[in-house]
Amino acid sequence: MRRRARVRTAPGDVIAMIRALVLPADRDKLSGSVLVCGAGRGDGAETGRIATELATGFARAGASTALVRADFTAPEADLDAPGLTAVVAGRVALSDALTVTDDAPGLSVIAAGTAPDSTVDLLSGREFGRIVEELERTVDVVVLHCAPLGDDPGAALVSRTADATLLVVSDRTRRDELSRVEQTLHATGGRVEGIAYVGEPGA
């Protein structure tokens, strides 16, 4: 999956845009990994919603999909669940952490679980990479939901290996936050293929 597109889109167009990124013309099946993260500190709530809608859309399109919650500050994190942190630490098997949802057939979710001491260490570690690789062998599409880059640079590390990255910005995102995001992505070798704008038109 190596096609590139740099797109600014409204939330309603996000599914179609990302599907175009993960469904090259020479393939007839959705496959790959998509990172969804916000730019600024105020973008977390919308990022979680878009990640959920994206994963649900893939599943309803017939692709088996895993949604991995890696934003430990998001309302969807479910810090009490045996989630991502426990799987990375080896305390819980990946298969036991996957929860089937009623939102769409073929959609499973890994909760974030207990917040780690350092999300950068967790997301850059070998075990996290192994988990993503195992999921990519098990399901068609992996959607990775990470914290806004303005809160935590860990998502930039995930962006290096994800097949497509969707950056969520809003009318609350400040210019200096976007500048820092650009610097962080440049320093880590990350990249962004799509930008989803969430807010009032013309804001």
Question: Residue 26: its pLDDT value, please?
Answer: 53
Which of 70, 79, 94, 59 minimizes the C-alpha distance to 152? 70
What structural domains and CATH numbers belong to the chain? 7-198 (3.40.50.300)
Mean pLDDT confidence for 161-182: 79
15 SS3 class: helix
At 110, the pLDDT band (50, 70, 90 cuts) reads very high
Q: In what order do the strands lie in the sheet with 32-38?
A: 7-9, 194-198, 164-170, 32-38, 141-146, 65-70, 107-110, 98-100
In the predicted model, is pLDDT for residue 143 greater than 90? yes
Quick one: which H or E segment has residue 59? helix 44-60
At 89, the pLDDT band (50, 70, 90 cuts) reads very high
Which of 98, 39, 47, 101 minimizes the C-alpha distance to 71? 47
pTM value is: 0.83
Could you give the CA distance from residue 79 to residue 60 in angstroms, rounded to a whole number? 27
